[in-house]
Amino acid sequence: MGLDPRARRFLDLLAASTRPSSDTPSLDDLRQATAGLAAFAAPAPEVDRRDDVLPDGALALRHYCPRGRADDVLPTLLYFHGGGWIAGGLETCDALCATLAARGACRVVALDYRLAPEHRFPAAIEDGLAALSALSAAPRRFGVDARRLGVAGDSAGANLAVVVARAFGAPLAMHLLLCPVMEPLGRTRSRAALASGHLIDEATMARYWDLYRVDGLAPDDPRVAPLRAADFAGLPPALIHVAECDPLRDEGEDYAAALAREGVSVRLTTHAGQIHHFYGLGGVIPAAQAALDRIGDELRETFAAMAG
């Protein structure tokens, strides 16, 4: 199909408005770039929101659920925002989480996990496990249907969602991944073919890894590269969405194939003409917002099928 014309226009405008940078992007530049993308999201639907903290008060959460259902027990996703493990937060994923909650008829709990380089690997994973344990241990406090509790994330947040699901040690209902990073320094065909000019590039990915890693941690360690795991049996059912014109496309598709080979239920969608982070660009790419709406509908249908 080729690149969506609206996505091409967005990339051209972004390139024209971005000052030239060195080969090594600074931490501040990367964080500002991630924060700036939130301006291109479609307006968030009306949902019930509330800010919260984990029981120990150490980590911030934001709860989303359909309007008028704040007191109901609902299927729930713990959500990990994107940003290369070093950027982003509750505000950068706000519209996305609201859309998933509204269209998915579920509760979404966004986690403000600690960021590198101030808190390198495995801090974000530890935070995710703490949050998931809290939701699982006290479902009534959070309004969680314990039988339908899963994890979700986008980009590096999807990476964290998979790693946390593997480490959690108890069954989960599902994991939902949007444009996942499955290897920090992957060498797939899509990474080579789309290495620059498609929102995320190889220099940025290398910088993310350098800021996240610790000495002795290899980029193919399954705790940072879930695609390199020895096996995939026992993982929860997966909904995986990748973008045709995203350098990360192939590793998301490869992960879906690896799950399927192990007999894990997986539904893979490759969004034609779309770019990395398309799900957050609905304000400038109408087809991307329509795709996000369909993702929410898929989430609702999947959770509904688990209710019986």
Q: Is 154 one of the annotated active-site residues of the chain?
A: no
Catalytic residue among 4, 94, 145, 246: 246
CA distance 263 to 120: 34
Q: Count CB-CB contacts under 10 A for residue 174.
A: 23
The yes-or-no answer on residue 276 being catalytic is: yes
What distance in Å separates the CA atoms of residue 184 and residue 202, rounded to the nearest whole number? 10
Q: Looking at 112, 155, 198, 250, which residue is catalytic?
A: 155
Taking the C-alpha atoms of residue 81 and residue 152, their distance in angstroms, rounded to an integer, is: 9
3-state SS, 21-77, equals CCCCCCHHHHHHHHHHHHHHCCCCCCEEEEEEECCCCCCEEEEEEECCCCCCCEEEE
In this structure, the strands spanning 74-80 and 60-66 are unpaired
Alpha-carbon radius of gyration of the chain: 18
Decide if 241 is catalytic: no
The catalytic residue positions are: 155, 246, 276
